[in-house]
Amino acid sequence: MIDTFRDHDAIGLAELVAGGQVSPTELLDTALARARAVNPAVNAVVNDATSVARARISAGLPDGPLRGVPFLLKDLGCEAVDYPCHIGSRLFRDTRFARNSAIFDRLSGAGLVPFARTTAPEMGIGTATEAAVYGGPTRNPWSLDHTPGGSSGGAAAAVAAGIVPAAHGSDGGGSVRVPASNCGLFGFKATRARLPDGPYAGEGWAGMAIEGFLTRSVRDTALLTDICAGADLGAPYAAPPMPSSFMQAIDTPVAPLRIALCDTTFTGEDIDPVCRAAVQDAARLLEDMGHHVVPARPAKADTQAMMSAWTDIVACGTAEAVLRKLGSLGRGLLPDDVEGVTRGALAHAATISGADYIACIDTIHAYGRQMADFFQDYDILLTPTLAEPPARIGRLDHATEDYVGYRMEQVFPYSPFAAAFNASGQPAASVPLYWSEAGLPIGIHLAARFGEDTRLMALCADLERARPWFHRTPRI
Active site residue 415: no
Interacting residues of 20 by C-beta distance below 8 A, sequence separation 6+: none
Could you tell me which of 263, 262, 269, 244 has the C-alpha nearest to residue 254?
Answer: 244
Number of H helices, E strands in the chain: 17, 11
For residue 80, the number of C-alpha atoms closer than 13 Å in the C-beta half-sphere is 24
Q: Which of 143, 175, 415, 424 is catalytic?
A: 175
Amino acid at 386: L
CB neighbourhood size of 54 (10 A): 16
Spatial separation of the C-alpha atoms in residues 275 and 286, rounded to whole Å: 17
Active site residue 151: yes
| Exposure string for 1-24, b = 16+ CB within 10 A, e = fewer | eeeebeebbbbbbbebbeeeebeb
Active site residue 74: yes
| Exposure string for 333-353, b = 16+ CB within 10 A, e = fewer | beeebbbbbbbbbbebbeebe
CB neighbourhood size of 139 (10 A): 23
- Give all strands of the β-sheet with 380-384 in edge-to-edge order: 45-46, 113-118, 70-74, 166-171, 210-215, 186-189, 428-435, 441-448, 380-384, 258-261, 292-295
Q: Which of 151, 170, 415, 424 is catalytic?
A: 151
Spatial separation of the C-alpha atoms in residues 75 and 120, rounded to whole Å: 6
For residues 212 and 189, the answer to whether their CB atoms sit within 8 Å is yes
Name the DSSP letter for residue 406. Answer: I
- Catalytic site residues? 74, 151, 175
